[in-house]
Amino acid sequence: MDRRAALSGLSAIGALAAAGVWSRSAAAQTADWPAKPVRIIVPFPPGGTTDLVTRLVAAEVAKSIGQSVIVENRPGAGTVIGVDAAAKAPADGYTFVTVANSFCANHTLVKSLPYDTLRDLRPVGLMGMSEHVLAVHPGSGLRTVADLAAAAKKSPGKLTYASFGNGTSAHLSGAMLEHALGVQLTHVPYKGQAPALNDLLGGQVTMMFGNWPEFRQHVKAGKLIALGMATAKRSAQASEIATLAEQGVALESNSWSGVLARTGTPDVVVATLNAEINKALQSPAVVKAFADGGIVSLAGSPTQFSAFIRSEIDKYADVIRRANITADN
Protein backbone atom coordinates (compact mmCIF):
# COMPACT_ATOMS: atom_id res chain seq x y z
CA MET A 1 0.00 0.00 0.00
CA ASP A 2 1.44 3.40 -0.94
CA ARG A 3 1.64 6.31 1.45
CA ARG A 4 -1.30 8.20 -0.14
CA ALA A 5 -3.60 5.18 0.16
CA ALA A 6 -2.51 4.64 3.75
CA LEU A 7 -3.22 8.26 4.67
CA SER A 8 -6.57 8.08 2.90
CA GLY A 9 -7.46 4.97 4.85
CA LEU A 10 -6.45 6.53 8.15
CA SER A 11 -8.46 9.66 7.30
CA ALA A 12 -11.55 7.57 6.58
CA ILE A 13 -11.13 5.65 9.81
CA GLY A 14 -10.73 8.91 11.71
CA ALA A 15 -13.85 10.36 10.13
CA LEU A 16 -15.86 7.26 10.99
CA ALA A 17 -14.59 7.36 14.55
CA ALA A 18 -15.43 11.04 14.89
CA ALA A 19 -18.88 10.40 13.44
CA GLY A 20 -19.38 7.60 15.92
CA VAL A 21 -18.37 9.81 18.83
CA TRP A 22 -20.68 12.58 17.59
CA SER A 23 -23.54 10.14 17.11
CA ARG A 24 -23.13 8.74 20.62
CA SER A 25 -22.92 12.26 22.02
CA ALA A 26 -26.08 13.36 20.19
CA ALA A 27 -27.89 10.21 21.30
CA ALA A 28 -26.83 10.82 24.89
CA GLN A 29 -28.08 14.41 24.72
CA THR A 30 -31.40 13.24 23.30
CA ALA A 31 -31.72 10.53 25.95
CA ASP A 32 -31.19 13.18 28.64
CA TRP A 33 -33.88 15.49 27.21
CA PRO A 34 -34.81 17.78 28.76
CA ALA A 35 -31.58 18.66 30.52
CA LYS A 36 -32.48 22.36 30.75
CA PRO A 37 -35.56 24.62 30.52
CA VAL A 38 -37.68 24.38 27.38
CA ARG A 39 -38.93 27.49 25.57
CA ILE A 40 -42.23 27.85 23.70
CA ILE A 41 -42.59 31.01 21.63
CA VAL A 42 -46.11 32.43 21.30
CA PRO A 43 -46.23 34.82 18.31
CA PHE A 44 -49.20 36.70 19.80
CA PRO A 45 -49.57 39.28 22.61
CA PRO A 46 -50.28 37.98 26.11
CA GLY A 47 -53.88 37.41 27.15
CA GLY A 48 -55.39 35.83 24.04
CA THR A 49 -56.69 32.30 23.68
CA THR A 50 -53.51 30.98 22.03
CA ASP A 51 -51.43 32.39 24.88
CA LEU A 52 -53.83 30.96 27.48
CA VAL A 53 -53.85 27.47 25.96
CA THR A 54 -50.05 27.44 25.68
CA ARG A 55 -49.57 28.50 29.29
CA LEU A 56 -52.09 25.97 30.61
CA VAL A 57 -50.43 23.09 28.74
CA ALA A 58 -46.89 24.32 29.46
CA ALA A 59 -47.56 24.35 33.21
CA GLU A 60 -48.66 20.71 33.16
CA VAL A 61 -45.81 19.61 30.89
CA ALA A 62 -43.29 21.30 33.20
CA LYS A 63 -44.58 19.29 36.16
CA SER A 64 -44.20 16.06 34.21
CA ILE A 65 -40.75 16.57 32.66
CA GLY A 66 -39.14 18.14 35.71
CA GLN A 67 -37.93 21.24 33.89
CA SER A 68 -39.32 24.75 33.47
CA VAL A 69 -41.28 25.42 30.29
CA ILE A 70 -40.88 29.11 29.52
CA VAL A 71 -43.58 30.79 27.44
CA GLU A 72 -42.19 33.74 25.50
CA ASN A 73 -44.53 36.16 23.71
CA ARG A 74 -43.00 37.47 20.46
CA PRO A 75 -45.83 39.09 18.49
CA GLY A 76 -45.50 41.05 15.27
CA ALA A 77 -45.87 40.91 11.49
CA GLY A 78 -48.90 38.66 11.65
CA THR A 79 -47.00 36.05 13.74
CA VAL A 80 -44.09 35.92 11.24
CA ILE A 81 -41.54 37.32 13.73
CA GLY A 82 -42.17 34.70 16.39
CA VAL A 83 -42.44 31.80 13.96
CA ASP A 84 -39.22 32.86 12.21
CA ALA A 85 -37.39 32.92 15.54
CA ALA A 86 -38.35 29.29 16.10
CA ALA A 87 -37.50 28.32 12.51
CA LYS A 88 -33.98 29.68 12.99
CA ALA A 89 -33.39 28.35 16.52
CA PRO A 90 -31.12 25.32 17.05
CA ALA A 91 -32.88 22.03 16.29
CA ASP A 92 -31.96 20.69 19.71
CA GLY A 93 -35.42 20.25 21.20
CA TYR A 94 -35.36 23.28 23.46
CA THR A 95 -37.24 25.84 21.36
CA PHE A 96 -40.77 25.37 20.07
CA VAL A 97 -43.49 27.68 18.77
CA THR A 98 -47.25 27.73 19.14
CA VAL A 99 -49.01 28.54 15.88
CA ALA A 100 -52.62 29.15 14.92
CA ASN A 101 -54.71 29.59 11.76
CA SER A 102 -52.59 32.51 10.58
CA PHE A 103 -49.57 30.20 10.19
CA CYS A 104 -51.40 28.39 7.40
CA ALA A 105 -52.89 31.54 5.88
CA ASN A 106 -49.48 33.23 5.72
CA HIS A 107 -48.24 30.46 3.43
CA THR A 108 -50.34 32.05 0.67
CA LEU A 109 -50.83 35.58 2.02
CA VAL A 110 -47.22 36.62 2.67
CA LYS A 111 -45.19 36.54 -0.53
CA SER A 112 -41.71 36.61 1.02
CA LEU A 113 -41.78 34.60 4.21
CA PRO A 114 -38.34 34.32 5.87
CA TYR A 115 -39.02 30.61 6.45
CA ASP A 116 -40.57 27.76 4.48
CA THR A 117 -43.88 26.79 6.09
CA LEU A 118 -43.66 23.09 5.25
CA ARG A 119 -39.90 22.49 5.21
CA ASP A 120 -38.44 24.51 8.08
CA LEU A 121 -40.81 23.45 10.85
CA ARG A 122 -42.26 20.10 11.88
CA PRO A 123 -45.55 19.45 13.71
CA VAL A 124 -45.45 18.29 17.32
CA GLY A 125 -49.11 18.36 18.32
CA LEU A 126 -52.40 20.21 18.33
CA MET A 127 -53.70 21.52 21.64
CA GLY A 128 -57.03 23.32 21.54
CA MET A 129 -59.67 24.98 19.41
CA SER A 130 -62.07 27.83 20.16
CA GLU A 131 -65.31 27.98 18.23
CA HIS A 132 -66.17 31.28 16.57
CA VAL A 133 -69.30 33.30 16.95
CA LEU A 134 -70.44 36.06 14.59
CA ALA A 135 -71.42 38.94 16.86
CA VAL A 136 -72.68 42.47 16.27
CA HIS A 137 -73.09 45.57 18.38
CA PRO A 138 -76.67 45.95 19.68
CA GLY A 139 -76.83 49.42 18.16
CA SER A 140 -76.47 47.97 14.67
CA GLY A 141 -80.11 46.91 14.66
CA LEU A 142 -79.10 43.51 13.27
CA ARG A 143 -80.55 40.43 14.94
CA THR A 144 -80.23 37.68 12.30
CA VAL A 145 -78.05 36.78 9.33
CA ALA A 146 -80.98 37.74 7.09
CA ASP A 147 -80.94 41.24 8.63
CA LEU A 148 -77.22 41.49 7.93
CA ALA A 149 -77.61 40.37 4.31
CA ALA A 150 -80.43 42.84 3.67
CA ALA A 151 -78.55 45.77 5.21
CA ALA A 152 -75.34 44.93 3.34
CA LYS A 153 -77.14 44.70 0.00
CA LYS A 154 -78.91 47.99 0.62
CA SER A 155 -75.65 49.84 1.39
CA PRO A 156 -72.62 48.02 -0.10
CA GLY A 157 -69.44 48.60 1.91
CA LYS A 158 -71.18 50.44 4.75
CA LEU A 159 -71.14 47.56 7.23
CA THR A 160 -67.74 46.85 8.76
CA TYR A 161 -66.16 43.75 10.25
CA ALA A 162 -63.21 43.74 12.60
CA SER A 163 -60.46 41.14 12.71
CA PHE A 164 -57.37 40.26 14.77
CA GLY A 165 -55.26 41.39 11.77
CA ASN A 166 -54.76 40.72 8.07
CA GLY A 167 -54.84 37.01 7.28
CA THR A 168 -56.19 35.97 10.67
CA SER A 169 -59.10 33.57 11.00
CA ALA A 170 -61.48 36.46 11.75
CA HIS A 171 -60.40 38.24 8.56
CA LEU A 172 -60.76 35.18 6.35
CA SER A 173 -64.10 34.28 7.95
CA GLY A 174 -65.37 37.75 7.09
CA ALA A 175 -64.27 37.23 3.50
CA MET A 176 -66.06 33.86 3.42
CA LEU A 177 -69.21 35.54 4.77
CA GLU A 178 -69.08 38.16 2.01
CA HIS A 179 -68.79 35.42 -0.59
CA ALA A 180 -71.57 33.31 0.91
CA LEU A 181 -74.01 36.24 1.09
CA GLY A 182 -72.91 37.91 -2.14
CA VAL A 183 -72.37 41.24 -0.38
CA GLN A 184 -69.62 43.82 0.11
CA LEU A 185 -68.37 44.49 3.65
CA THR A 186 -65.47 46.67 4.80
CA HIS A 187 -62.63 44.97 6.66
CA VAL A 188 -61.08 46.76 9.66
CA PRO A 189 -57.93 44.96 10.89
CA TYR A 190 -56.57 45.33 14.43
CA LYS A 191 -53.41 44.13 16.15
CA GLY A 192 -54.95 41.32 18.15
CA GLN A 193 -58.42 40.34 19.30
CA ALA A 194 -58.51 42.55 22.41
CA PRO A 195 -58.48 45.97 20.65
CA ALA A 196 -60.87 44.67 17.98
CA LEU A 197 -63.29 43.46 20.62
CA ASN A 198 -63.06 46.77 22.47
CA ASP A 199 -64.10 48.67 19.35
CA LEU A 200 -66.91 46.20 18.66
CA LEU A 201 -68.18 46.75 22.21
CA GLY A 202 -67.94 50.49 21.63
CA GLY A 203 -69.86 50.35 18.37
CA GLN A 204 -66.96 51.56 16.22
CA VAL A 205 -67.37 48.47 13.97
CA THR A 206 -70.50 46.55 13.02
CA MET A 207 -69.51 42.93 13.49
CA MET A 208 -66.75 40.44 14.12
CA PHE A 209 -66.01 36.74 14.12
CA GLY A 210 -64.40 36.01 17.46
CA ASN A 211 -63.50 33.29 19.93
CA TRP A 212 -66.54 32.24 21.94
CA PRO A 213 -64.56 32.15 25.24
CA GLU A 214 -63.86 35.89 25.03
CA PHE A 215 -67.28 36.82 23.61
CA ARG A 216 -69.47 34.70 25.88
CA GLN A 217 -69.68 37.09 28.83
CA HIS A 218 -70.50 40.06 26.58
CA VAL A 219 -73.24 38.14 24.75
CA LYS A 220 -74.77 36.96 28.02
CA ALA A 221 -74.65 40.53 29.38
CA GLY A 222 -76.42 41.88 26.30
CA LYS A 223 -73.44 43.99 25.25
CA LEU A 224 -73.18 42.02 22.01
CA ILE A 225 -75.72 40.17 19.88
CA ALA A 226 -74.74 36.72 18.62
CA LEU A 227 -76.04 36.28 15.07
CA GLY A 228 -74.83 32.69 14.92
CA MET A 229 -72.15 30.17 15.78
CA ALA A 230 -69.72 29.34 12.96
CA THR A 231 -69.93 25.62 13.69
CA ALA A 232 -71.19 22.61 11.73
CA LYS A 233 -73.73 21.81 14.43
CA ARG A 234 -74.92 23.58 17.55
CA SER A 235 -72.08 24.11 19.96
CA ALA A 236 -72.06 22.28 23.26
CA GLN A 237 -70.69 25.54 24.68
CA ALA A 238 -73.59 27.65 23.34
CA SER A 239 -76.44 25.34 22.40
CA GLU A 240 -79.00 28.14 22.61
CA ILE A 241 -77.39 30.01 19.69
CA ALA A 242 -78.32 28.94 16.15
CA THR A 243 -75.52 28.10 13.76
CA LEU A 244 -74.88 30.14 10.63
CA ALA A 245 -75.63 26.98 8.65
CA GLU A 246 -79.14 26.87 10.14
CA GLN A 247 -79.61 30.35 8.69
CA GLY A 248 -78.48 29.37 5.21
CA VAL A 249 -74.76 30.18 5.45
CA ALA A 250 -72.62 27.02 5.49
CA LEU A 251 -69.59 28.63 7.10
CA GLU A 252 -67.32 27.13 9.76
CA SER A 253 -64.72 29.18 11.58
CA ASN A 254 -62.54 28.67 14.62
CA SER A 255 -59.19 29.46 16.17
CA TRP A 256 -56.89 26.52 16.84
CA SER A 257 -53.44 26.27 18.37
CA GLY A 258 -50.66 23.72 18.05
CA VAL A 259 -46.95 23.34 18.70
CA LEU A 260 -44.19 23.12 16.07
CA ALA A 261 -40.46 22.44 16.30
CA ARG A 262 -37.67 23.32 13.94
CA THR A 263 -37.09 20.64 11.32
CA GLY A 264 -34.18 18.49 12.43
CA THR A 265 -35.40 18.26 16.00
CA PRO A 266 -34.88 14.60 17.01
CA ASP A 267 -37.85 12.31 16.44
CA VAL A 268 -37.68 11.02 20.00
CA VAL A 269 -37.98 14.57 21.38
CA VAL A 270 -40.97 15.32 19.15
CA ALA A 271 -42.64 12.05 20.15
CA THR A 272 -41.95 12.69 23.83
CA LEU A 273 -43.31 16.24 23.79
CA ASN A 274 -46.36 15.12 21.80
CA ALA A 275 -47.09 12.51 24.48
CA GLU A 276 -46.61 15.11 27.21
CA ILE A 277 -48.97 17.56 25.48
CA ASN A 278 -51.64 14.89 25.11
CA LYS A 279 -51.21 13.94 28.76
CA ALA A 280 -51.49 17.59 29.79
CA LEU A 281 -54.74 17.95 27.82
CA GLN A 282 -56.22 15.17 29.98
CA SER A 283 -55.10 16.69 33.28
CA PRO A 284 -57.89 17.91 35.60
CA ALA A 285 -56.56 21.49 35.59
CA VAL A 286 -56.56 21.77 31.78
CA VAL A 287 -59.86 19.91 31.34
CA LYS A 288 -61.55 22.31 33.78
CA ALA A 289 -59.96 25.43 32.28
CA PHE A 290 -60.96 24.34 28.77
CA ALA A 291 -64.53 23.60 29.88
CA ASP A 292 -64.79 26.94 31.70
CA GLY A 293 -63.32 28.77 28.72
CA GLY A 294 -65.25 27.01 25.97
CA ILE A 295 -62.12 25.48 24.45
CA VAL A 296 -62.19 22.08 22.73
CA SER A 297 -59.24 19.69 23.25
CA LEU A 298 -57.49 18.54 20.06
CA ALA A 299 -55.15 15.79 21.26
CA GLY A 300 -53.53 13.77 18.48
CA SER A 301 -50.31 12.69 16.78
CA PRO A 302 -47.71 14.72 14.85
CA THR A 303 -48.85 12.94 11.69
CA GLN A 304 -52.45 14.02 12.24
CA PHE A 305 -51.31 17.60 12.89
CA SER A 306 -49.26 17.55 9.68
CA ALA A 307 -52.29 16.49 7.62
CA PHE A 308 -54.39 19.14 9.37
CA ILE A 309 -51.88 21.88 8.53
CA ARG A 310 -51.89 20.92 4.85
CA SER A 311 -55.70 20.93 4.74
CA GLU A 312 -55.80 24.36 6.42
CA ILE A 313 -53.25 25.74 3.94
CA ASP A 314 -55.42 24.56 1.05
CA LYS A 315 -58.60 25.95 2.63
CA TYR A 316 -57.19 29.40 3.26
CA ALA A 317 -55.40 29.56 -0.09
CA ASP A 318 -58.77 29.17 -1.80
CA VAL A 319 -60.35 31.93 0.31
CA ILE A 320 -57.41 34.32 -0.15
CA ARG A 321 -57.27 33.90 -3.92
CA ARG A 322 -61.02 34.03 -4.41
CA ALA A 323 -61.38 37.23 -2.36
CA ASN A 324 -58.13 38.72 -3.71
CA ILE A 325 -56.85 39.27 -0.16
CA THR A 326 -53.38 40.70 0.29
CA ALA A 327 -51.27 41.34 3.37
CA ASP A 328 -52.36 44.99 3.13
CA ASN A 329 -56.15 44.58 3.03
What ranges do the domains of the chain cover?
A: 38-130+255-322, 131-247
Average pLDDT value for residue range 251-267? 95
CB 251 within 8 A of CB 177: yes
What is the value of pTM for the model shown? 0.83
Structurally, at CATH architecture level, domain 131-247 sits in 3-Layer(aba) Sandwich (3.40)
Lowest mean pLDDT across 45-54, 61-70, 254-263, 301-310: 45-54
Question: Can you give the pLDDT at residue 191?
Answer: 80
Q: Say whether 131-247 and 38-130+255-322 share the same fold.
A: yes
133 DSSP β-pair partners: 210, 229
Q: What is the pLDDT of residues 177-220, one digit of tens each?
A: 999 999 999 999 988 788 999 999 999 999 999 989 889 999 99
38-130+255-322: in CATH 3.40.50.970:
no
